[in-house]
Chains A and B, each alone.
Chain A
Amino acid sequence: MGISPVLWQFLVKWLNASALFPSEASTIAPYMDALYFFLLSITLIGVLLVATLLVVFSVRYRKAVHPVATQIEGSTLLEATWTIIPLGLFLICFVWGALLYFRIYNPPVNSMNIYIVGKQWMWKAEHPGGQHEINALHVPTGQPIQLTMISQDVFHSFSIPAFRIKREVIPGRYSTVWFEATTPGQYHLFCTQYCGTNHSAMIGTITALSPADYKKWTEQSTSGMSLAQNGERLFASMGCNACHSGNAAARGPSLAGVYGSTLRLTNGSQVLVNDAYLRDAILNPSQHVTSGYTPIMPTYQGQISEDGLIDLVEYLKNLNSNERVQQTLTTTQSEQAAPPASGVAKP
């Protein structure tokens, strides 16, 4: 039999290029694989056990060998055995899985934050330094990265198989996931939640770089403005600074250092100010009125894009004093500037 050498070579190359197991490129991956192999071995043992029982009984008690069946009612002991052992195994799977789940979805405090915006059908990544990427994400190795993600339209899902992480990207709400890449290289990024026509084109490349390379990359690809700087511009152009000026008589509360603090709201509840809270407070201000202030802030629902919101959130995160806010305000007022670009009436 002669197989054409060309075909043979093609087959060999094809098989070599194909994958059977994903590479382990994050700190979480070995943990995930350990659980995977544990579950896999339970499955194999279970299937082998059932197959052995079927085969052995089929051979030993086939009609030719065992012409008359012996009627057995059952055995409580045996049944208890195969109730309790699987139950025990499943409970181990539960505890193990739960530990891993909490690990993947609770980012460490020292992690670096990158924002992800999903929309039909592309991923936008926004680094704090202002680097924007489409369908790509550059990350340093050896550094925990937290992704704060939101969707502009439908459900998407951000999945990096080589890092063993995945998280739904939800419209109207931030979701987070974190990872720490270990091996430099390029990895797949998939949208795994069906999101319409070009769902399968909503893919990208994750590039893990050594810290030095990453530094080089950030310098090369900077847009000149950090997210916080963009946010500052937006803050001024939307006229936010008119009320949130930090003056004693200001109509809105001072926002310097508000991130991470605990606020008391007019409805008596206490909230921790985080990304989600800031975003919500901009979009639905009257449900988040700080105690002592009147609900006069208009809603910005539909007027600021998710990117804009991210800029504002990032700006507020880094806002430690009101000095620049007041400076900008004075400049604007003295120039009697035209109404803000977005046309939002000041309250």
Chain B
Amino acid sequence: MAHEVEQEQHFHDPSNVTNPEHASHHIVSPAQYALVFAALLTGTALTVVAANIDLGVLNPIIALGIACTKAIIVILFFMHVKYQSHLIKTTVAAGFFMFLVLITMTLSDYISRAWGLW
């Protein structure tokens, strides 16, 4: 692909087509996938074990913590975000940010309802 990049300089704006939103294409090896796969299965086992121990308020926190870790691993490796451009990383972050906005802003109503007269 290198020969293309050199030629493209002549007629493509590098800022649009390549840098900085461009990341070189990275092929993840099967060995790495296997490692991720193992990590995910371990996470599943862990979360089931943790659910069987009474940890009080920590139970949901641990369960969701493990779920988040697993999700991040999937996003980074199976979905290649680790090797993607800033643009893709920002996009993924924006998605989760809006999800949090939806939840926290709506909760702000439900939580504070009890404080007032109504």
Residues of A with Cβ closer than 8 Å to B?
A: 105-106, 174-176, 276
CB distance from A103 to the nearest CB of B (A): 13
Chain A residues closer than 8 Å to B118, beta-carbon distance: 105, 174-176, 276
Within 8 A of A (CB), among B77-93: none
CB distance from A98 to the nearest CB of B (A): 13
5 additional A-B pairs beyond A105-B117, A106-B117, A174-B118, beta carbons within 8 Å, are: A105-B118, A175-B118, A176-B117, A176-B118, A276-B118
A106–B118 Cα gap in the complex (Å)? 10
A106–B115 Cα gap in the complex (Å)? 13
Within 8 A of A (CB), among B92-118: 117-118
Give 1 or 0 for each of B53-75: 1 = CB within 8 Å of chain A CB: 00000000000000000000000
Closest A residue to B118 by beta carbon equals A175
Residues of B with Cβ closer than 8 Å to A?
A: 117-118
Closest B residue to A269 by beta carbon equals B114
Closest A residue to B113 by beta carbon equals A173
Chain B residues closer than 8 Å to A276, beta-carbon distance: 118
Chain A residues closer than 8 Å to B117, beta-carbon distance: 105-106, 176
Closest B residue to A167 by beta carbon equals B118
Chain B residues closer than 8 Å to A175, beta-carbon distance: 118
Closest A residue to B117 by beta carbon equals A106
A49–B117 Cα gap in the complex (Å)? 42
Chain B residues closer than 8 Å to A105, beta-carbon distance: 117-118
Closest B residue to A175 by beta carbon equals B118
A62–B118 Cα gap in the complex (Å)? 58
The 8 closest A-B pairs by CB, nearest first: A175-B118, A106-B117, A176-B118, A176-B117, A105-B117, A105-B118, A276-B118, A174-B118
A174–B117 Cα gap in the complex (Å)? 10
A47–B83 Cα gap in the complex (Å)? 52
A106–B117 Cα gap in the complex (Å)? 8
CB distance from B115 to the nearest CB of A (A): 12
Could you list some 8 contacts between A and B, CB below 8 A? A105-B117, A105-B118, A106-B117, A174-B118, A175-B118, A176-B117, A176-B118, A276-B118
CB distance from B62 to the nearest CB of A (A): 24
CB distance from A259 to the nearest CB of B (A): 15
CB distance from B58 to the nearest CB of A (A): 19
CB distance from A172 to the nearest CB of B (A): 13
A276–B118 Cα gap in the complex (Å)? 9
A175–B116 Cα gap in the complex (Å)? 12
CB distance from B113 to the nearest CB of A (A): 10
A219–B117 Cα gap in the complex (Å)? 33
CB distance from A167 to the nearest CB of B (A): 10
A176–B117 Cα gap in the complex (Å)? 9
Closest B residue to A107 by beta carbon equals B117
A179–B118 Cα gap in the complex (Å)? 17
A129–B117 Cα gap in the complex (Å)? 25
A276–B113 Cα gap in the complex (Å)? 13
A276–B117 Cα gap in the complex (Å)? 10
Closest B residue to A106 by beta carbon equals B117
A175–B118 Cα gap in the complex (Å)? 7
CB distance from A104 to the nearest CB of B (A): 12
CB distance from B102 to the nearest CB of A (A): 23
A105–B113 Cα gap in the complex (Å)? 14
A105–B118 Cα gap in the complex (Å)? 9
